[in-house]
Structures are given as structure tokens and as C-alpha cells.
Structure 1
Amino acid sequence: MGKKAADFKWVLYVCAGAVGLYLLLPLLMIILTSVSMGASTKFPPEGLTLEWYGKLADQKQFLQAFLNSIAASAGAVALALVAGTLAALAIIQYPFRGSGVLRAFFMSPMVMPKITLGVAYLILFSKMHIAGGLFALILGEAVIVLPFVLSIVGSAMANLNAAHREAAADLGAGPFRIFFTVTLPQLRLSLLLAGSIAFVFTFDQVETALLILRQGSYTLPIQLFLYMEKWQDPTVAVVSVVLIAFALTLFFAIKLVIRSAPGLENLLGSGQNKRRS
């Protein structure tokens, strides 16, 4: 029995390693392509050079597009966090008749085709005379990521201890003070998680941005797409490597923030104790 369990464990290790290699292989190919010596994207590369990294500084359109992506994603995440938290507060802590239908309505953008939403936004924002700029993209992307915020923050809010709010109310605190001093501090980890997921999702958004934006307001994914239509050099791979480094930096920064939160550390510690027991 012990030998069979050990053999099965090694089979799991091999399968997990194969899946990990399959996931990492495209990233490794991008990294190798970014240091290719040739003037076109070939694999395997003819030679290795860092020349394309030096030339990236001359591509000013990518820097502007990156800043546009950061601004649009940050604005959309901020708007979605505010709207999603308030919606979760109304649905979870102050339920009313029809709140389930309202929740389903707020969650509907998650299952809607993004190209359909993009066309709808193009028509709407054209009528409002704001199509073509980042403000329109922020409004559109905020609606798209609102379900993530509502789902994560709503789940955390449903698990809060109502006794804390009741104690604050007994001491004379009003609804606004209870929300900002009792409820909101307990939601900081869920807000961080929801904001991180929403930021990554909006940063890589293509369908909606492609229909709404005009030249001068292009985000980085659109700028990369337009560049690949004209050129096939490793510049796109270089930009992709820079984005991978940016994503890893963001991931580890969020991980450090989460590890520094006492509540999460206690939660993880209790989970480990339960496993040991």
C-alpha cells in the first residue's frame, strides 16, 4: 500500500511538472525571441543580443500607451470598487425585496460577450459625445469589472460579524460612521484582492478599448496590435517581457502587503494549525 501511494505521488509530480512546463513554455519563447539577433521574430533565434531592449526607448508610442493603460485601469478599478462596495452593502447588509434580481443584473456583464458590450458602449458614448477618450474607456471597463468586486467584497461582507456593527450602533454610531469605522476596515483585504484582479483584467482589455478609443488615446494592447500589423521584429517580444516583469513586481508587492496584514496572517496560521491537528 505504501509503495502504491509513493508511485502515485510521483505520477502526480510528473503531471504537475508537465503542466507547469506547458504554462511556462510560451513565456520562455517570448524571452528568447526578445534577445533574438535577427530583424524578424524567428524561433530558434539566429543569435542573442540585447539590442532590441536598447531600441525600445525610441518607441515613444509604447510608453504613452502604457501610461494610458495605467490611467484607464486605475480609474476603472477605483470606480468599480466604490460602486461595487456600495452595491454589496445594499444587497448584503440591507436586503430588500428584489435584491437577488438586482445582484444578478450587476453580475450580468461577466457573461456578456465583450465585443457586444464594446459596440453598445460605442453607440452610447457617441451619443454622449465622449467616445474616443480615456474617460469613456474608464466608464466602460468599470462596468465590466464590477461583477468581480461585487462577488469578492459581497462574500467577505456576508461573513462579517454583525455583533460589531450592533455594538457600534448601541454606542450611538450612525450608519455612515459604522460603515467607515467598523465595516470598511474589515474589508480591506477583500478590496485589495478585488482591485488587483480588476486591474489585471482591465489592463489587458482589448475588445472594448478597440471600439471606443481613437488615435492618441490607445492603450498598450491596442498599440502592440497596430505595431504587429506593420512590423515583425522582436520589439513586441521585448515589450511583452517588460510587461511580465511589471506583472511579477505587482504580484510580489501585493503579496508583501497581504503578508503584512495581521488579520490574514492569523487566518493562515489558524488554517495551518487545523491541518496539523
Structure 2
Amino acid sequence: MVKSNRFTKLLLYIFAGAVAVYLLLPLLMILLTSVGSGSASTFPPDGLTLKWYANLGEQTQFLVAFKNSLIASTGAVLLALITGTLAALAIVHYPFPGAGILRAFFVSPMVMPKITLGIAYLILFSKMHIAGGLFALILGEAVIVLPFVLTLVGSALANLQPAHREAAADLGAGPLRIFFTITLPQLRLSLLLSGSIAFVFTFDQVEAALLLLRQDSYTLPIQLFLYMEKWQDPTIAVVSVVLIAFALALFMIIKLVLRSVPGLESLFGGRKNKRRSGL
């Protein structure tokens, strides 16, 4: 029995290691390609050089596109967090006839083809005379990521205990004060998780951006495609390495923020604490 458990554990370790290698190997190939001395993206590289990192510094369009992506993603996430939280609050805490239908309507962009939404946005925002700029993209991307916020925040609201809100109401607090002092602090984790997912999704969004934006407002994915149409050098791999570093930095920031949430450590470490105490 003991040998069987050890053999199973060994197989699990081997499987986990193989999955880790499979996930990390493409990233390692990108890293090696970014320092290749050849004039084209080849693997394995003929030699090692940092000239393509210097070449990235000369491509100012990437920096402008990165700023546009940050502005569009941040604006869309903030708008989706506000509207999604209010919608979830209305549906969960103040149910009304047709709330389920309204929830399904809000979640529908998750299953709708993104190119269809992009065309619809193009027609709508052209009629409104706002197509071509980042404001139109923010509005469109906010609708696309709204289902993530509504689902996560709605689940968190459904699991909240009403005792604190009822106690605050008994003490004379109004609905707004209850929301900002009781409900909103308990939603910090779900807001952070849904905002992080929405930010990653919008930062890499192509369909709506390709249809809505003018040339001076292009985001980073569009500029990468335009660059690859003209050149096939390792500069694209360099941009990918920079984005990987940016994602890792964002992950570390989120991890630090999660550590600062009161009670979160005990939430994840509850089982360990119970085992140590013998429960």
C-alpha cells in the first residue's frame, strides 16, 4: 500500500513537471529568440546579441500603443467594475420580476462572437460620431468584460451574511452608508479578481480595437500585427519578453494586495491551521 502511494505520488510529480515544461518552453523560446543575432526570428538563434532591445527603443509607435492599451484597459475595467457591481447589487440584494432575464442579457457578451460585437460597435459609434478614438474602445470593451464582473461580484454578494447590514440598518445607517462601509469592503477580493481578469482580457483585445480605432489611437496588439507585416526580425520577440515581465510585475502587485486584505490569509490557510491544531 505504501509503495503504491509512493508510485502514484511519483507519477503525479512527473506529470506536473511535464506540464510545467510544456508551459515554460514557449516562453523560453521567445526569450532566446529575442537575443538572437540573426535578422529574422529563428530558433535556435545563430548568436546572442542585445541589439534588438536597442531597436525596440527606436520604435516609438510601440510605446504610444502601449500607453493607448493601458488607457483603454484601465478605463474599461473601471467602467465595468462600477456598472457590474451596481447591476449585481440590484439583482442579488433587490430582486425584481425579470431579474434573471436581465442577468442573462448582461452576461450575453461573453458568448457572442467578438467580431460581431466589433461591427455592431462600429455602426453604433459611427452614428454617435465617437468612433475612431479610445473613448469608443473603452465603452465597447467595458461591455465585453462586464460579464466577468457581474458573475464574480454577484457570487460574492450572494454569499455575504446579512447580519452586518441588518445591524447597521438597526443603528440608523442608510443604504448608501451600508454599501460603502459594510458591503463594499467585503467585496474587495471579488473586485480585485474580476478587475484583474478584465484587465488582461481587454489589454489583449483585437477585434473591437481593429474596427474602432484610427491610426493614431492603435493599441499594442494592432501595432504588433502591422509591424509583422513589414518586418520579421526578433523585435516582436523583444516586445513579448517585455509583456511577460509586465505580466509578472502585475501578478506580484496583485499578490501583495491580496496579502493586505484582512482575513484572506486565514481563509486560504484555514485547513493548515486546523491540521496543526489537531482538528
Alignment partners' CA distance in 2, 1:260 and 1:82: 22
Partner of 1:40: 40
In structure 1, stretches of 5+ residues that fail to align are: none
Report the Cα offset of residue 266 of structure 1. 2.2
1:100 aligns with 2:100: yes
Residue in 2 aligned with 1:245?
A: 245
Q: 1:268 — aligned with what?
A: 268
SS of the counterpart of 2:269? helix
* Offset, 1:161: 1.2
> 2:135 matched to 1:135?
yes
Structure 2 residue matching 1:216: 3-state secondary structure? helix
Look up the match of 1:232.
232
Spell out, residue by residue over 1:187-221, the C-alpha distance to the aligned partner (whole angstroms, 9 max, x if none). Answer: 11111111111101100101111111110000001
CA distance in 2, matches of 1:29, 1:119: 36
Q: Distance in 1 between matches of 2:78 and 2:32?
A: 37
Q: Say what the alpha-carbon RMSD is for the aligned residues.
A: 1.0
Give the AA of the match of 1:11.
Answer: L
Q: What is the number of residues matched between the two proteins? A: 277
* Equivalent AA in structure 1 for residue 148 of structure 2: F
Counterpart of 2:175 in structure 1 is 175
TM-score (norm 2): 0.97
Deviates more, 1:261-270 or 1:160-169: 261-270
Structure-2 separation of matches of 1:131 and 1:90: 31
Q: Percent identity?
A: 77
* Partner residue in 2 for 1:63: 63
**Secondary structure at 1:37 match in 2:** coil
CA 1:274/1:102 → structure 2, altered by over 3 Å: closer, same or farther? Answer: farther
Amino acid aligned to 1:131:
A
Find the counterpart in structure 2 of residue 197 from structure 1.
Answer: 197
Looking at structure 1, the residues matched to 270 and 93 of structure 2 have their Cα atoms a distance apart, in angstroms, of 27
Q: Measure how far apart 1:271 and its partner are.
A: 3.4
Whichever residue aligns with residue 232 of structure 2, its letter is Q
The answer on 1:211 being equivalent to 2:211 is yes
Q: How does 1:86-165 map to 2 (within 5 A)?
A: 86-165=86-165
Shift of 1:275: 5.4
What is the aligned partner in structure 2 of residue 254 from structure 1?
254
Match in the other structure for 1:166:
166
* TM-score, normalised by the number of residues in structure 1: 0.98
Q: Distance in 2 between matches of 1:271 and 1:92?
A: 30
CA positional deviation for 1:274 = 4.1
Amino acid at match of 2:8: F
Deviation string 1:47-87 (CA, Å, 9 cap, x unpaired) is 01111111211100000000000000000000000000000
Distance 2:45 2:196 in 1: 35
**How far 1:273 sits from its partner (Å)?**
2.7
SS in 2 for 1:18: helix
Distance 1:263 1:205 in 2: 34
Deviation at 1:269, TM superposition (A): 2.7
Aligned to 1:85: 85
Give the gaps of 5 or more residues in structure 2.
none
Indicate how the Cα distance of structure 1 residues 150 and 37 shifts in structure 2: closer, same or farther if over 3 A, else same: same
SS of 1:43 mapped into structure 2: coil
- List structure 1 segments (4+ residues) > 4 angstroms apart after TM superposition: none
SS of match in other structure, 1:77: helix
The answer for the alignment partner of 2:14 in structure 1 is 14
Between the aligned partners of 1:132 and 1:264, the Cα distance in structure 2 is 43
Compared CA separation, residues 107 and 271, structure 1 to 2 (3 A): farther
Corresponding letter in the other structure for 2:194: A
Q: Following the alignment from structure 1 to structure 2, what is the Cα–Cα distance between the partners of residues 188 and 67?
A: 27
Quick one: which amino acid aligns to residue 209 of structure 2? A
